[in-house]
Structure 1
Amino acid sequence: MTDLRIAPVDGDAMLHDWQHVHNAIIPTAALSLDEVRERAGRNRLEVAYLGDVLVGCSTVRPPTAEASVATVIARVLPAHRRQGFGGALYARGLAHARKLGADVIETVVLESNADGLRFAQAQGFVEVERYLLPGDSVRFVDLRLA
Structure 2
Amino acid sequence: MSDLRIEPVSGEAMLREWRHVHNAIVPPAALTLDEVRERAGRNRLENAYLGDTLVGCSTVRPPAGEDAVATVIARVLPGHRRTGIGTALYTRGLAHARVLGARAVETVVLAANEDGVRFAAARGFTETERYVLPDEHGEHGEHDEHGEHDVWLTLRLTAADTP
- Cα deviation per residue 1:29-86 (whole Å; 9 max; x = unaligned)? 1000000000000000000000000000000000136441000000000000000000
Residues 67-86 of structure 1 aligned to structure 2 (within 5 Å): 67-86=67-86
1:144 aligns with 2:156: yes
- After the TM superposition, list the runs of 4 or more consecutive aligned residues in structure 1 that deviate by more than 6 angstroms: none
Q: Secondary structure at the match of 2:109?
A: strand
Shift of residue 139 of structure 1? Answer: 0.6
1:120 paired with 2:120, answer yes
Structure 2: which amino acid aligns with 1:63? P
% same residue: 71
CA deviation digits over 1:79-106, x for unaligned, max 9? 0000000000000000000010001000
Q: Distance in 1 between matches of 2:92 and 2:127?
A: 22
Give the whole-Å Cα distance in 2 for the aligned partners of 1:100 and 1:132.
29
> In 1, distance between residues paired with 2:25 and 2:37?
18
Matches of residues 7-86 of structure 1 in structure 2 within 5 Å?
A: 7-64=7-64, 66-86=66-86
TM-score normalised by structure 1 residue count: 0.98
Larger radius of gyration: 2
Task: Give the alignment's Cα RMSD to 1 decimal.
Answer: 0.9
Deviation string, structure 1 residues 110-143 (Cα, Å, up to 9, x no partner) = 0110000000000110000110011242110000
Please state how far the C-alpha of 1:21 moved relative to its aligned partner.
0.4
Cα distance in structure 1, aligned partners of 2:65 and 2:110: 27
Q: Structure 2: state its 5+ residue gaps.
A: 135-140, 143-148, 159-163
| Alignment correspondent of 2:107 | 107
Query: Aligned partners of 1:34, 1:133: CA distance in 2, in Å?
Result: 20
Corresponding residue SS for 1:62: strand
Structure 1: distance between partners of 2:64 and 2:109: 21
- Deviation of 1:3 (Å): 0.4
**What number of residue pairs does the alignment pair up?**
146
Q: Supply the distance in 2 between the matched residues of 1:10 and 1:132 (Cα, whole angstroms).
A: 31
Pairwise CA distance, 1:27? 0.2
